[in-house]
Amino acid sequence: MCRNLNIHFVNGRTGKDTDGELTFLSTAGCSVIDYFIISSELFTHVKDFEIVYVDISDHFPLLYTMRLSSVELRTKMPKKSKRFVFLNEDEILDISITYNEIFKVIMSMSNGKAPGPNGIIIEIVKAASHMLCPIMLSLYNKILETGDFPEIWCEAVIFPLYKSGDKNDVGNYRGISLLNVLGKIFTQDGRLVSYVEVNNMFCEEQAGYRSGYNIFILLSYYIFIDFSKAFDSVQYNLLYFTLIKSGIGGKVFSVLRSMYSKLKSCVKGTDGLTEYFSCTIGVRQGCMVSPLLFNLFLNEYITMLKNNCKGIQIESMTEVQTLLYADDMANIADTIGGLQKQIKQLKMFCNLYGMRMFKSSSFNIRYFCDRR
């Protein structure tokens, strides 16, 4: 009777579905599908049916294009940090990549991830690692030596991931970049992370994307800050400024600058892939090195607070003005006046570095008084 029954699911998932698989029933037995269509000879229409169609083809090209308004651009590179010496060929970041480093990165990468533009998944690389690693070793060292990042690895397919709120609002979609797996392996080399951690280049207030860090603290007066499109707002010339100021130069800096000068993306929409467009702003959500670069970028704000504002004293720790976990931030002060001064520094940072804040979720002030 129902041999011709076809059920087409559109945008449905359960609460525990993290891989985007379409599902019909949750574990509790209730339907969680947003929309579905039933088509057969027995049914001619579905009541209360609605399809939300969001045209995102123009949103991400505009988002990843340089915004020049009200931003003071850096045209002169800073002097090197007094704490560091620019890298030489003998130092850790510029020495040749080893076979074991590549093999370790390949085996540490998670399976089941969406492929980049070339369609190659990490499972294929793992299965053929004994044949591919020697070839990749030669290629990666050539890239490091010349400082020239392959242009084809700079291409990405942007997958719009719905976050929350109105599904018709393109601002409620986060763009996840699906990248070439060989480029991801290259940028996941852990030596840059180790170098940054060993040299204490991250401000101690940074807890995001760092192993063994979390946030637990009793606060006096604080304010939650939510940056708007934080990853997508990082300007490349300011990123280079931050890297040089932190002491990261040499071959690694050349490769990073080469990579960011060639970034291109297309958008995966309902009608397939759009044309590729050049990306002139934003660190990629999906690139292995992006979290580290973003943390170094936000170091500038922490430094501004330390130099100009008071925070609170926590037992034997040094004075703390702010705590960050990725792009989630809480500024801390022991007085309302101190908090107001921090807000002024935040405004100055946003003007200098091109960052913006969500008006709807920023500046939520809470008060906790410890009477002991």
> What span, in angstroms and rounded, lies between the C-alpha atoms of 303 and 188?
27
Mean pLDDT of 347-370: 67
Mean pLDDT of 66-70: 46
Give the pLDDT score at 247.
Answer: 84
Number of neighbouring beta carbons within 10 Å of residue 189? 21
Beta strands 173-179; 221-228: pairing state: unpaired
> What span, in angstroms and rounded, lies between the C-alpha atoms of 38 and 337?
61
User: Which of the pair, 176 or 127, is modelled with greater confidence?
Assistant: 127
Phi, psi of 263 (to 5 degrees): -60, 135
Residue 339 has pLDDT above 50, yes or no: yes
Residue 355 has pLDDT above 60, yes or no: yes
pLDDT category of residue 99 using cuts at 50, 70 and 90 = very high
User: Does an H or E element contain 328, and which?
Assistant: strand 328-333
Dihedral sign for Cα atoms in the order 91, 97, 100, 106? positive
Kindly state the percentage of the chain with pLDDT values over 70. Answer: 65
Least confident of 17-21, 35-39, 154-158, 215-219: 35-39
| SS3 state at 21 | coil
> What span, in angstroms and rounded, lies between the C-alpha atoms of 102 and 130?
11
Mean pLDDT of 267-296: 87
Mean pLDDT of 285-293: 87
The domain segmentation of the chain, as residue ranges, is: 1-51, 59-367
- What pLDDT, in 10s, does the model give residues 1-58? 334 434 343 444 444 444 444 444 334 433 343 433 334 443 333 344 344 445 555 6
pLDDT category of residue 67 using cuts at 50, 70 and 90 = low
| SS3 state at 356 | strand
> What span, in angstroms and rounded, lies between the C-alpha atoms of 271 and 259?
29
Where does the chain have alpha helices with state H? 59-63, 99-108, 122-127, 129-146, 181-187, 191-198, 236-246, 250-260, 290-308, 336-353
Mean pLDDT of 116-140: 94
> What span, in angstroms and rounded, lies between the C-alpha atoms of 314 and 370?
12
Residue 240 has pLDDT above 90, yes or no: yes
The DSSP bridge partners found for residue 37 are 8
Give the pLDDT score at 54.
Answer: 54
| Matching residue, tokens 């800050």 | 225
| SS3 state at 268 | strand
Give the pLDDT score at 223.
Answer: 80
The token duo for 357 is 């804040």
Give the pLDDT score at 42.
Answer: 37
Kindly state the percentage of the chain with pLDDT values over 90. Answer: 22
The full 3-state SS of 223-256, as one line of letters, equals EEEEEECCHHHCEHHHHHHHHHHHCCCHHHHHHH
What is the pTM for the complete model shown?
A: 0.65
Residue 254 has pLDDT above 50, yes or no: yes
| SS3 state at 40 | coil
The DSSP bridge partners found for residue 365 are 223
Residue 369 has pLDDT above 50, yes or no: no
pLDDT category of residue 98 using cuts at 50, 70 and 90 = very high
pLDDT category of residue 216 using cuts at 50, 70 and 90 = very low
Q: In sequence order, which residues have a C-beta less than 8 Å from that of residue 87 and are 6 or more positions away?
A: 93, 94, 248, 249, 250, 251, 252
Q: Which amino acid is at 137?
A: L
Of these ranges, 55-64, 200-209, 287-296, the one predicted with the greatest mean pLDDT is: 287-296
User: Which of the pair, 301 or 63, is modelled with greater confidence?
Assistant: 301
Mean pLDDT of 249-259: 91
